[in-house]
């Protein structure tokens, strides 16, 4: 989506850390999300962060939010081949029922 | 844990035909969202329902309509299908109090020939 931007591709070696970046434009974003999509599969909610937080950690996943720069990142520690997928950043900008606006997705390729 | 169920998983239709996609939300979830994901694209929001009423509208063509029923399942009706409607259609559900947690179904892949 044009309001949420991501780099298209990232390649890392197994065991390394991966960092996927996202920028968004709407300062009224209240929640920011990371979804994972494997080939031919649905969207799996990985984690989300409320806009008044700077960081959220969940096992191997660390989300960092720089609200001033409107920058969101997802760090995957000890990346495994099973982490190979497309990762979508998304924002929720509307009050009420919170439709999501997605970025274009980053394809993560993990080399053994 | 129960997930969002969508049916059918795959659908092939010809141009100008109609299609109906169904979505069964996670039990106790009262809000349903529909998204369309074209080939190689990000999901685009179409429409959402809360307590059987339309709550938000995105880029849904006039040829499409949707509704939510008393058991909270939802149907997306698509008429006069065009080749460009070929896409993956996702349904997501959430509970009003936790509307920030949207859980997606596996999607219905619609192919229009």
d(CA A94, CA B86): 28
Residue-level pLDDT, tens digit, chain A, 112 residues: 558 999 999 999 999 999 999 998 877 777 899 999 998 888 999 999 988 889 999 999 999 999 899 999 999 999 999 999 999 999 886 555 578 889 999 999 999 9
Q: Looking at beta carbons, which residues of chain A come within 8 Å of B55?
A: 96-97
Q: In the prediction, which pLDDT does B10 show?
A: 97
> Of A6, A42, A51, A91, which to mutate for an interface test with B (greatest number of B Cβ within 10 Å)?
A42
Q: In the prediction, which pLDDT does A95 show?
A: 55
Q: In the prediction, which pLDDT does B27 show?
A: 93
Q: Looking at beta carbons, which residues of chain B come within 8 Å of A30?
A: 100
Q: Looking at beta carbons, which residues of chain A come within 8 Å of B99?
A: 97-98
Q: Cis link prior to A77 (omega < 30° from 0)?
A: no
Which residue do the tokens 């369309």 mark?
Answer: B36
Q: Considering only the beta carbons, identify the residue of A42, A50, A103 that sits closest to B107.
A: A42
Q: In the prediction, which pLDDT does A2 show?
A: 56
Residue-level pLDDT, tens digit, chain B, 113 residues: 689 999 999 999 999 999 999 999 999 898 999 999 999 899 999 999 988 999 889 989 999 999 999 999 999 999 999 999 999 999 999 987 666 788 999 999 999 99
Structure tokens at A32: 């920011």
Q: Considering only the beta carbons, identify the residue of A88, A96, A97 that sits closest to B42.
A: A88
Structure tokens at B37: 């994901």
Interface contact flag, A100 B102, Cβ < 8 Å: yes
Q: In the prediction, which pLDDT does B16 show?
A: 97
Interface contact flag, B100 A101, Cβ < 8 Å: no
Q: In the prediction, which pLDDT does B37 show?
A: 94
Q: Considering only the beta carbons, identify the residue of A42, A43, A92 that sits closest to B100.
A: A92
Q: Considering only the beta carbons, identify the residue of B31, B100, B104 that sits closest to A31.
A: B100
Q: Looking at beta carbons, which residues of chain B come within 8 Å of A32?
A: none
d(CA B48, CA B32): 5
Q: Which of B111, B44, B101 is nearest to A2 (CA)?
A: B44
Q: Looking at beta carbons, which residues of chain B come within 8 Å of A92?
A: 100
Q: In the prediction, which pLDDT does A31 show?
A: 86
B46: Cβ contacts below 8 Å, ≥ 6 apart: B33, B34, B35, B36, B58, B59, B60, B64, B66, B76
């Amino acid at each position: 989506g044009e309001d949420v931007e991501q780099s298209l591709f990232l390649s890392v070696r197994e065991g390394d850390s991966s960092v996927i970046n996202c920028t968004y434009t709407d300062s009224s974003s209240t929640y920011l999300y990371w979804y994972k999509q494997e080939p031919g599969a649905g969207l799996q909610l990985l984690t989300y962060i409320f806009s008044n937080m700077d960081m959220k950690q969940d096992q191997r996943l660390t989300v960092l939010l720089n609200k001033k720069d409107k920058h969101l990142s997802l760090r995957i520690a000890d990346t495994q081949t099973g982490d190979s997928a497309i990762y979508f950043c998304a924002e929720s900008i509307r009050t009420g029922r919170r439709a999501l606006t997605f970025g274009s997705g980053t394809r993560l390729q993990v080399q053994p | 844990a129960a997930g969002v169920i969508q049916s059918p998983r795959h659908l092939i239709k010809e141009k100008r035909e109609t299609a109906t996609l169904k979505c069964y939300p996670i039990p106790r979830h009262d809000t349903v969202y529909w998204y369309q994901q074209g080939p190689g694209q990000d999901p685009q929001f179409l429409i959402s329902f809360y307590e059987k009423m339309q709550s938000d509208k995105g880029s849904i063509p006039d040829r499409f309509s949707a509704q939510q029923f008393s058991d909270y399942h939802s149907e997306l009706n698509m008429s006069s299908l065009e080749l460009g409607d070929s896409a993956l259609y996702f349904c997501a559900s959430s509970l009003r109090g936790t509307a920030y947690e949207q859980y997606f179904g596996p999607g219905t892949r619609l192919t229009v020939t």
